[in-house]
Amino acid sequence: MNLLRLSATGVLVVTMSLTAGAQIKLNKNVLKSGSKVVKAVTLSDEEVIAYTREYIQWMDENNPVAPENDELAQRLKKLTSGLTTYDGLDLNFKVYLVKDVNAFACADGSVRVCAGLMDVMSDEEILGVIGHEIGHVKNTDSKDAFKTALLTSALKEGVASQGGAAATLSQSQLGELGEAVANSAFSRKQESKADDYGYKFLKDNEVNPWHMSMAFEKLLGDSGEAEGKKKGSQLFSSHPDTEKRIKAMSKKAEKDGFKRPE
C-alpha cells in the first residue's frame, strides 16, 4: 500500500504500491545531473507563489483529476464545503484518481487528495490530514521547501525574475523541481507543529480531534511499523515516531475532554 508522507511541499512521495493502477506522475523525462553550482537568486514571496501556481498547473495537467461528477470529487466537495478560505488562506481542492495514499497542499492554497487516501480513510480522518498539510503552508514550511527546491534545481542555471515577474519554467525545469520537492523533508519540530495545526483545524470545523490520532493509526498499521517491528521506514524517517505522534494527539484529545469515537 502506498503510504502518506505527511508533507506539504507540493509533491507526492510514493513508497509502496497499493494495487496495480495509476500513480502520481512527476516529469522525469529531461532531468539533468544538477552538477552546476547553484547561483545566488533572491525570490520574493510573490515570485514563489507564481512558481507554485505554475507547478500545480503542471501537476493537474499531468495527473488524472477527478471530474466534478465523479463520486470521489463529490465526496471531497461535500467534505470541504465552506472551506474556500481558512486562516487567511484561499483554498481550492481536487482529487487525483491515483492509488497513492497521499495528499498535499501548496503555498498558493491548492490542496490535492489522492483516491487511495480517500479509499482507506474516513471523511474525518481525511480532514485531519488536510489540516496537517495546511499547517505546513501556514507555518511557511511549504513555501520555504519549495523555494529551496527552486534555488537548487529548476533555477540552478540562473533563471530568475524578469521585469518584476517570475520567469516561466520549462518542462525540464518543472521535472527537476518535482524531483527536488520530492526529496525534501521537514524536521520533527515542523511535523509536530503541523500535527497540532491539524488538530486545531478539526476542532475549528467541529470535528472530534481524535480523528487526527486515528489517521496516524491507519498509517501505522499500513506501514508495518507495528509493535516489535523495525522502526524508521523511509516514510517516517524524517518525522517523529508515528507511535509518539499518535500518543501526543490522543493525550491532547483526552485532556480537552473529547471521547474517542466508536
**Domains present along the chain, CATH in parentheses:** 45-186 (3.30.2010.10)
Per residue of the chain (262 residues), what is the pLDDT tens digit?
Answer: 333 333 333 333 333 223 334 665 554 433 333 333 233 356 778 888 888 898 899 889 888 999 999 999 999 999 999 999 999 999 999 999 998 888 889 989 999 999 999 999 999 999 999 999 999 999 988 888 888 887 776 666 555 444 444 567 777 777 777 777 766 678 888 889 999 999 999 999 999 999 999 998 887 775 544 443 333 233 333 445 788 899 999 999 999 999 999 8
Active-site residue set: 133
Instruction: Please tell me the distance from the alpha carbon of residue 248 to that of residue 233, in angstroms, as a whole number.
Output: 20
